[in-house]
Amino acid sequence: MAQVITVGETVDVKKSKQVPLSFTGTVEKLYANAALLTIDSFNKADKEVVDDLKNRTVVNYKDIKKDGQAVEPPAPEEPTGRNNRSSKTTKK
């Protein structure tokens, strides 16, 4: 079963076609299909790549592991646009 992640948690990412390096990072923000991660721990050989990324990158959930297990995207939130406001009636 996939793990649920939240902002502030530490996760692992392995190098792949989509990810240029392996690292351990902290979740900064969750999106529908990916998460913004701060790169905390990485191989010294990847320092130039990490510097180019400014120690942050967006990674698809399928490339993130928590405690060695896959993670799942967060549940979608309800929209909060103008169409969801209740109508007000005014007494005269």
Q: How far apart are CA 18 and CA 70, in angstroms?
A: 16
Q: Among all chains, which residue has been given the structure tokens 């690292």?
A: 23
pLDDT tens digit sequence for 45-57:
999 999 999 999 9
What single-letter DSSP state applies at residue 7?
A: T
Q: Is the pLDDT of residue 80 over 80?
A: no
Helices (H), the chain: 47-52
What's the mean per-residue pLDDT of the chain? 88
DSSP code string of 19-76: -SS-EEEEEEEE-SSEEEEEEEEE-GGGHHHHHHTTTEEEEEGGGEEETTEEEEPPPP
Please give the average per-residue pLDDT across 65-89, as a whole number.
74
- Predicted local distance difference test score (pLDDT) of residue 37: 98
- Predicted local distance difference test score (pLDDT) of residue 2: 82
pLDDT tens digit sequence for 55-76:
999 999 999 999 999 999 888 7
Please give the average per-residue pLDDT across 19-32, as a whole number.
96
Least confident stretch, 27-31, 47-51, 83-87: 83-87
CA of residue 44 relative to chain centroid, distance = 23
